[in-house]
Structure 1
């Protein structure tokens, strides 16, 4: 296991280079003998502008409700994305004026997982929104990534609870205090484990992002090359 708190990144993308402690360009993200952790927190203005993964990889974006997962995905993802927030928005438009969300929440979850299953049947890279409290989902995604010849990667948004609550207020939608505490505990445990270099089973890499690093990202995409080509973190 390698934990790399890189000290310097270029402010623009550049050509691929071999992995190294610090560099101004793309770094290898797959085809390593052990999972890798990249810590991109606490370096305002010096984070990468793009993350590039292998053509069949599955990338999971996780963090507290209100941390900015959906905002990041909508802005940066280049390729297939499956966001549970999009699914909820669709059902809210249909039923939200007639029923409380708790009534049709199971339908939203079923629709989200059905969309995810459809995306995973394809052979291109997929970016997935994950709330972080359902560990079985990550296990499913890891197995699906292996079956399609790819790897599971984690993007973890590490923001303070106050920042996440502010994000919920800004979007005009929040979760209950109980649910938020549950999310908070799960996110904290996952981040602590990743900081130790202990990734969830099946994950090939993890990237830790604070708000500055997430805001700097303008692209999350996948290579179009064959499976034998390098898989890069740009």
Structure 2
């Protein structure tokens, strides 16, 4: 039986251990999802998060909230960031070609890369904007098949801070797209604050900008 854990490195506080077994072995109820709120700690939040060896971690939040920055700085091991895929395509595409024209190909390439990473069997951190619920459903199923669990890292920043982040990176989403992301992120945040995690998620960690800036390690146990 696999032990699925998520704990805070360098801190006495820990997320409770959760035990999972394949559905064919038991139909006992799964442990209740765990929500850990690291917001409003003025930078005194943990420096590391460590998950089980076969777990999947989804980093979600508004465009411009700092997901890619956090992943580049903190992820140890495999990280699959849709922004990296777009950057590679942007570098190769003619400058006159609008992104909307080749966006479907970027998404296809991103999900193909994610599928390859999942097939490898180890822990994976995935960038997600929170508007595609089917992606989390897919990841939850993949985590169960590999004997792991799905965890959510939710960046809670204000819309104005997210827009400023888009300006800083020199790339903004359309007003329509941002409103769509904003509504989806708000729904997800309210649900997680009530302890209602997306289907298949074993735990969620809430981060504000200070907590995200302090976080230096997202890793998996051997």
Partner Cα separation in structure 1 for residue 77 and residue 106 of structure 2 = 23
Which sections of structure 2, spanning at least 5 residues, go unmatched? 1-7, 20-30
SS at match of 1:46: coil
Deviation at 1:109, TM superposition (A): 0.2
**Structure 1 counterpart of 2:180:** 182
Partner Cα separation in structure 1 for residue 211 and residue 146 of structure 2 = 30
**Structure 2 counterpart of 1:130:** 128
C-alpha change, 1:29 and 1:219, in structure 2 (3 Å) is: farther
**Structure 2 counterpart of 1:219:** 217
Aligned residues: 204
**Structure 1 counterpart of 2:15:** 28
Deviation at 1:46, TM superposition (A): 1.4
Partner Cα separation in structure 1 for residue 110 and residue 57 of structure 2 = 16
Check the 8 A contact 1:30/1:205 in 2, yes or no. no
Pairing 1:79-158 to 2, within 5 Å after superposition: 79-158=77-156
Partner Cα separation in structure 1 for residue 54 and residue 80 of structure 2 = 15
Partner Cα separation in structure 2 for residue 174 and residue 93 of structure 1 = 17
Deviation at 1:30, TM superposition (A): 4.1
1:61 maps onto 2:59 in alignment: yes
CA deviation string 1:80-121 (max 9, x = no partner): 000000000000000051411000000000000000000010
Name the Cα RMSD after superposition. 1.3
SS at match of 1:153: strand
Partner Cα separation in structure 2 for residue 45 and residue 63 of structure 1 = 19
Which sections of structure 1, spanning at least 5 residues, go unmatched? 1-9, 15-23, 225-234
Check the 8 A contact 2:15/2:36 in 1, yes or no. no
**Structure 2 counterpart of 1:208:** 206
1:171 maps onto 2:158 in alignment: no
Partner Cα separation in structure 2 for residue 53 and residue 63 of structure 1 = 20
C-alpha change, 1:178 and 1:38, in structure 2 (3 Å) is: same
The alignment's TM-score, normalised by the length of structure 1, stands at 0.85
Check the 8 A contact 2:55/2:143 in 1, yes or no. yes
Deviation at 1:25, TM superposition (A): 2.7
Deviation at 1:34, TM superposition (A): 1.3
Q: Which runs of 4 or more aligned residues in structure 1 lie more than 6 Å from their structure 2 counterparts after TM superposition? A: none
The alignment's TM-score, normalised by the length of structure 2, stands at 0.89
**Structure 2 counterpart of 1:195:** 193
Q: Quick check: 83-92 or 96-105, which moved more?
A: 96-105
2:70 to 63, 69, 72: 72
Deviation at 1:26, TM superposition (A): 5.4
